Chain A
Amino acid sequence: MTECKFADLIDEYLLNKLSEEKRAQFEEHYFNCPSCFQTMTERDEMITAIKWRGPQIFADIMETEQTRKAAVWDRFFGFMTPKHWALAAVGAALVLLVTFSVIPSLRTQSPQFYLDDHQTRGQSITLISDAIPSRFQWQAVADAWEYKIQIDNHNPLWNETTSDNFIILPDEVKNKMLPGVDYSYQVKAFSKEGTLIAESSKIQFTIPKK
């Protein structure tokens, strides 16, 4: 006799493992398939007994399983003396120490965030200078090898790289900047390997009209 193609779903249906869609399909199916319904009721009777009297039906299997687990535990740890346990504890402490001391320092060598258009992720740089500046200054970032400052007026106007946490705006740039126009500046910090590790937000400023 050819088995119904839905027969495979019986167990999963009874054990509530079917998705909502499949469950509805199968329910409609067994209203129309006496063979599946018959198999399902027999299976349901068996599963009900298994769930209800499992510890009694499978007492021997459960006991063997427990014994096997205990044997595995003994095999792994049975040979260990108090001295071994103490050594294992010291070893675990060392691993934890290394993990928490070395990993944070490794982190600074890898890219910490990415940029997309206007979003900034990772740490940020706090800018100190805020008025119209000849001198731009920002808080130094640990592990920063150099900083790149950029001034925009919607388009890039000027950029410069420095290892200090400040920069003096050259006169030729100042002379290009017009009163009443909005400008912005931003500072990015790079590691020795050239990886971007921090950036400031974009600060807007206007040169006052005389």
Chain B
Amino acid sequence: MLRSIFLAALLTVAGVATTAAQAPTVNVEHAWARATPGGAKSAALYMTLVNKGADDRLVSVSTPVAGKAEVHSTTTENGVMRMRPVEALDVKAGTSTTLKPGGYHVMLTDLKAPLVAGQSFAVTLTFENAGKIDVTATVEKLGAAAPGAMPGMKM
């Protein structure tokens, strides 16, 4: 009896330890890209990074649908839009960072095929601390007014 309780406790501890080691400290939510217009060789990938662990940095992104995937920032000053590569994206502890139109995005270049609405594709994000995280990005149709919003919905 005592032995079985001890064993159960041991298993529980082991289970918790395993979970702790496996649970990613960064949650990737709503990874999406817009369908690409005919002939477009590039696209932008958006997502929300929720960091429940220590300060971290997104250092690289890869996906089989594109030759290259790079984090870019978009800044607009006096109406002039500038995109710049970002070496690594800081994701501070306890914060949520949203990559969205007009802000940060992952620029996908050398697309192997057009991104078609309704399809999804694999993406691997590499963080300095959290390591590699695999996510699935969905392709949303052109005309989608805003991420997750219904087209034509008043904001």
Q: Do A and B come from one complex?
A: no
